[in-house]
Structure 1
Amino acid sequence: MTELAPWTSFLAVVLATVFVLVTALFRRRNRKLYKLPPGPRAWPVIGNLNLVGPLPHHSLYLLSSQYGPLMSLRFGSVPVVVGSSVDAARSILKTNDLAFIDRPMTAAGKYTAYNNSNMLWSQYDDYWRQMRKLCQIELLCAKQLKLHEHARGEEVSTMLHDLYAESSSTGRRTVVLSDHLMITNLNMITRMVLGKKYVVKGSSGSSEDTTTAEEFGWMLQELFFLTGAVNIGDVIPWLNWLDLQGYIGRMKRLSKMLDRFLEKVLDEHDERRRRDGEAFVAMDMVDKLLQLVDDPNLKVPITRDGVKAFALEFFVAGPDSAASTVEWAMTELVKKPEVLAKATEELDRVVGRNRLIAEGDIPNLPYLEAIVKETMRMHPVLPLLTPRQSREDTSVDGYDIPAGTRVLINVMAICRDPTVWDAPMEFRPERFLGSSVDVKGQDLELVPFGSGRRMCPGRTLGLKMVHATLGNLLHAFHWRLPDGVAADELSMEEIFRLNVVRKVPLEAVAEPKLPAHLYVGPDRE
């Protein structure tokens, strides 16, 4: 083994040299054939990866100020184009939507999404179109969302009870919001997708068919990180087998843990279907999907792994994004008591103090809706929309984008563009009062859910979760920063994963302001 080591090292050096030369020749050829958007000069092998820091959306935002709103980079051997303006976003997401509708093939899609069989990572083909249609007509239609409204309301009520108990047990009434928000949103999703709560608080509450919030939370945090991280093997393929960062090993271990959990869930659903026989009624999304497994009428068969991938996608897209949006909103509100006062005045006037907010109240709360829009502008949880890949050579704004190019939209850059937004660094919900700008994908200056065919299909559900959770938090408690903490001292640092979350969880003082019986919670009435 020791005698072969020098030859192995020599071979690696030769291969690396050949790769660098081929890459350099390919890039020269590209420059002759294509008029690429401007961008920084790339290094051999690594390309421009040295220019991307731990917060890629900020790094790319700074680079775009130098090279323009349509910028060309290389991540390893992968050509990348970044759009950082409304016009660039319109060209990519709407005008040339079909040309940029595919997803890049990544290790995350392979190992954590059952070989790209969910909607997030699958290519634009018959399978994706079928699942998209099924999602719109059967799983996330208005009827299904209404059917599960009571479950979302019960989870919000439980959260308010827990916050009431926690704030009452501490002399300062200080609470940490993030844990409450995460478990609330997780249980909303598990009840809708899986049929019941599969997450409980604390190890003492776990049983054979549940997992603790800590266990499930860890799996999701790992999933968010690995899905959003830049895996070197994805952009420098000849290094993939080395797994230099250890990401692939982590993905494989995580996928086994998640598969065990999801397989148990599917077994429980199969057992209920066998037990009920002809009287069986689909109660949740997994029930509906399992009925379609091996359905001969489908153009593309749905497999058991496809059901698990689809269910898992709801946990990737839903709970963490909704919880993070609410936490960012609460952060901005405790920093600006005058905005918080306007929001609570609207809630008291429209809803009153004798009940909690229902989802039906939201259309009558324009200032609350403006706060949510402004939060999504200031703190888009997906600041770099999920990457697309060009299917063919395409021209955008006079520049060529070759087939196979990875395409990114820097939503954060658009939301900070002073030519689009007045005082973009200030939190001003009033900018949306009377404004026609919405988050439905038509207004490219505000696209937290994306736009075009690849727009997030769970947008309506996500907005319901955010509005109801935030509205009830503001309605049920007086909020302020802890004594001795000034607004300008509050940390606004971020952590980049699949989405962007607060680095330091928000701590705030919560003082109950509604009648005590409203904090009882559904399980304690």
Structure 2
Amino acid sequence: MFSTISVALLFIVLILFLTHMTKFKFGSIHKNGRSVPQLPPGPAPWPIIGCMPEMLSKKPVFRWIHRLMKEMDTDIACIRLGNVHVIPVTCPEIAREFLKKHDVTFSSRPTSMATRAYSGGFLTTILSPYGDQWMKMRRVIVSEIISPARYHWLKDKRTEEADNLVKYIYNRSTSSSRTVNVRTAARQYTANVIRKLMFSKRYFGEERADGGPTIAEEEHVEAIFTILKYLYAFCISDYFPWLVGLDLDGHEKFVKEAVSTVNNYHDPIIDARIGKWRRFGNLNEESTSNDPHDLLDVMATLKDSEGKPLLTPEEIKAQVTEIMFATIDNPSNAVEWAMAEMINQPEILKTATEELDRVVGKERLVQECDIPHLNYIKACIREAFRLHPIAPFIPPHMAMSDAIVAGYFIPKGSHVLLSRLGLGRNPKVWNKPLEFRPERHFTSDCTEVQLTEPDLQFISFSTGRRGCVAPMLGTAMTVMLLARMVQGFNWMALPNVTSINLDESFEDLSLADPLIAHAEPRLPLHLYP
């Protein structure tokens, strides 16, 4: 297999053969006989291939992009990869121009090898380009899957998984080691919630007595995080589609394996459920006399205006996978980072615990109805979203036509990347941006802290047509995860460890090492499931 350096050299040799090495300089652009504003500042691209050699040699790409923008002292840049103008943004004001003022223009998504594989050929909501299919699936998601009525309908299932989280951590905390792998607990909680909402089941096989994951659940979660890793990973074929199939950077192999693993778990359940509700393309009258029990039932029983199934089996399978990877990552990452920061700053952990004791008490477990009153807990989560985002960029927005944004020319087909990292750590916006300070999220006119951030000073659920359609579910999952952990247990670093290592992984934005901590129950024993 070609190394990235070999691929870069191959491209350079090709260009030497095709054309002379003349650099392109950004400046005024002439279109239809008139001058338009210049492109955002950026590195001078090579002919034809753009900055592909730099992309291939300066891994990980997101760190190169942010380093480049810092060196150029710019909040918006233009990096040409092949014929694609990639536009990273780290300024909230410019971000709002893209997602509010020009939301219609930037409502599409670029296509790629990975997004095609994950979306079943662009059948879903998040990954599909703007068009009829996207509009159809978005209507289904908004009106049938994450509507307020549906959210309240599934409350008991979410509570079951919050109880199981406490059970699992309690069993770990009373074991001989008294240690808890917070990353495992957090990821399995989020995965358990969405599996319960989707399939009415936590496990794919037999459950474990201690509430922890089996090998099957661990494999499922690992495959979901592999999907996320390669979702928008600056693959060569994203910018040179004719290279799909050659797998020059090895992404295709991992994408196919992850999709296969997830499908092996999902498809038998989905096929059986569709078979239960439908017969020969029509809804089974005998089955439909029963009410749906979960989100899969809902999707399988939806009908169009002629009484026929609204969604094909392929659409259901693709959308189930997309919902899975859209809900598991952000809450688990934010809570793992928040716990690490709070253990290192015991006064923050103490303040959060005191809030829970004041609002909830110690005679019952915290519930979703308490969320509006847990402002300090939510401030801790906002601060984790700001300082420790799950991914460097939100999914790219693609320009459907030429536009002028922040005084710069943004060509049709450009990929706009709002930087979670750059927005949340922007020193022009945040005082001491690298410090974990939940108090910064309290303002004089704030009566209730919200996890949403419409001004895009950091990214939690984004905004606009392509923003997260389920902030209520995301808020409930994240707050309940952190609140149950803080209320139920005293947390501290392991013996002989002075503080938690807060180093960030070089390849992504997760903790370099999974958080392993010491936990002790702090509530009456009858409250532990």
TM-score, normalised via structure 2 length: 0.87
Residue number in structure 2 paired with 1:281: 291
Deviations 1:65-91 (A, max 9, x none): 233111110224421111110121011
* Structure 1: distance between partners of 2:71 and 2:12: 36
Preserved contact between residue 378 and residue 427 of structure 1 (Cα < 8 Å): yes
Residue number in structure 2 paired with 1:37: 40
CA 1:286 to 1:132, structure 2 compared with 1: closer, same or farther past 3 Å? same
Q: Kindly indicate which of the two structures has a greater share of residues assigned to helix.
A: 1
CA 1:407 to 1:24, structure 2 compared with 1: closer, same or farther past 3 Å? farther
Preserved contact between residue 120 and residue 313 of structure 1 (Cα < 8 Å): yes
* Structure 1: distance between partners of 2:128 and 2:512: 31
Residue number in structure 2 paired with 1:139: 145
Residue number in structure 2 paired with 1:418: 427
Give, as a single letter, the amino acid of the residue that structure 1 aligns with 2:138.
R
Aligned to 2:78, what secondary structure does the other structure show?
Answer: strand
Q: How many residues align?
A: 500
* Structure 1: distance between partners of 2:21 and 2:291: 57
Residue number in structure 1 paired with 2:111: 105
Q: Residue 160 in 1 paired to residue 160 in 2?
A: no
Preserved contact between residue 61 and residue 234 of structure 2 (Cα < 8 Å): no
Residue number in structure 1 paired with 2:237: 233
Which stretch of structure 1 is more off in the superposition, 31-40 or 108-117?
Answer: 31-40
Preserved contact between residue 72 and residue 79 of structure 1 (Cα < 8 Å): yes
Residue number in structure 2 paired with 1:443: 455
* Structure 2: distance between partners of 1:510 and 1:203: 21
Report the Cα offset of residue 60 of structure 1.
Answer: 2.5
Deviations 1:304-328 (A, max 9, x none): 2111111111111111221111111
Residue number in structure 1 paired with 2:327: 318
Preserved contact between residue 191 and residue 221 of structure 2 (Cα < 8 Å): no
Residue number in structure 1 paired with 2:501: 490
Residue number in structure 2 paired with 1:8: none
Deviations 1:102-131 (A, max 9, x none): 101100111121012111111122222232
Q: Percent identity?
A: 30
Aligned to 1:93, what secondary structure does the other structure show?
Answer: helix
Residue number in structure 2 paired with 1:467: 479
Report the Cα offset of residue 372 of structure 1.
Answer: 1.1
Q: Residue 506 in 1 paired to residue 515 in 2?
A: yes
CA 1:507 to 1:260, structure 2 compared with 1: closer, same or farther past 3 Å? closer
* Structure 2: distance between partners of 1:30 and 1:297: 56
CA 1:494 to 1:28, structure 2 compared with 1: closer, same or farther past 3 Å? closer
Report the Cα offset of residue 264 of structure 1.
Answer: 0.9
Aligned to 2:230, what secondary structure does the other structure show?
Answer: helix
CA 1:41 to 1:278, structure 2 compared with 1: closer, same or farther past 3 Å? closer
Structure 1 unaligned runs (5+)? Answer: 1-11
Q: Residue 428 in 1 paired to residue 437 in 2?
A: yes
Residue number in structure 1 paired with 2:312: 303
CA 1:333 to 1:15, structure 2 compared with 1: closer, same or farther past 3 Å? closer
Preserved contact between residue 24 and residue 46 of structure 2 (Cα < 8 Å): no
Preserved contact between residue 441 and residue 452 of structure 1 (Cα < 8 Å): no
What is the aligned counterpart of 2:84 among 57, 78, 84? Answer: 78
Residue number in structure 2 paired with 1:478: 490
Deviations 1:31-53 (A, max 9, x none): 55561111112245361562585
Give, as a single letter, the amino acid of the residue that structure 2 aligns with 1:340.
L
CA 1:301 to 1:16, structure 2 compared with 1: closer, same or farther past 3 Å? farther
RMSD between aligned alpha carbons?
Answer: 3.0
1:264-413 pair list within 5 angstroms:
264-273=268-277, 274=284, 276-292=286-302, 296=306, 302-413=311-422
What is the aligned counterpart of 1:262 among 260, 266, 285? Answer: 266
Report the Cα offset of residue 478 of structure 1.
Answer: 0.6
Report the Cα offset of residue 343 of structure 1.
Answer: 0.6
Preserved contact between residue 49 and residue 74 of structure 1 (Cα < 8 Å): no
CA 1:26 to 1:56, structure 2 compared with 1: closer, same or farther past 3 Å? closer
Report the Cα offset of residue 278 of structure 1.
Answer: 4.3
* Structure 2: distance between partners of 1:372 and 1:261: 31
* Structure 2: distance between partners of 1:401 and 1:243: 30
CA 1:104 to 1:19, structure 2 compared with 1: closer, same or farther past 3 Å? farther
Q: Residue 517 in 1 paired to residue 507 in 2?
A: no
Report the Cα offset of residue 242 of structure 1.
Answer: 1.8
Preserved contact between residue 170 and residue 521 of structure 2 (Cα < 8 Å): yes
Structure 2 unaligned runs (5+)? Answer: 1-9, 278-283
Residue number in structure 2 paired with 1:453: 465
Give, as a single letter, the amino acid of the residue that structure 1 aligns with 2:432.
A
CA 1:187 to 1:61, structure 2 compared with 1: closer, same or farther past 3 Å? same
Preserved contact between residue 187 and residue 199 of structure 1 (Cα < 8 Å): no
Deviations 1:435-488 (A, max 9, x none): 64854352221322111110011221111001011001000001111122223x
Report the Cα offset of residue 342 of structure 1.
Answer: 0.5
Deviations 1:118-174 (A, max 9, x none): 111111222222322222222111221112112111112112112111121124x22
CA 1:204 to 1:470, structure 2 compared with 1: closer, same or farther past 3 Å? closer
Which stretch of structure 1 is more off in the superposition, 38-47 or 149-158?
Answer: 38-47
CA 1:58 to 1:202, structure 2 compared with 1: closer, same or farther past 3 Å? farther
CA 1:46 to 1:178, structure 2 compared with 1: closer, same or farther past 3 Å? same
TM-score, normalised via structure 1 length: 0.87
Deviations 1:175-222 (A, max 9, x none): 1111122222111101112232244688999xxxx9712221232132
Aligned to 2:400, what secondary structure does the other structure show?
Answer: coil
Deviations 1:281-312 (A, max 9, x none): 122222121223676479x9632211111111
Aligned to 1:286, what secondary structure does the other structure show?
Answer: helix
Residue number in structure 2 paired with 1:16: 14
* Structure 1: distance between partners of 2:234 and 2:501: 30
Residue number in structure 2 paired with 1:3: none
* Structure 1: distance between partners of 2:455 and 2:79: 27
CA 1:458 to 1:20, structure 2 compared with 1: closer, same or farther past 3 Å? farther
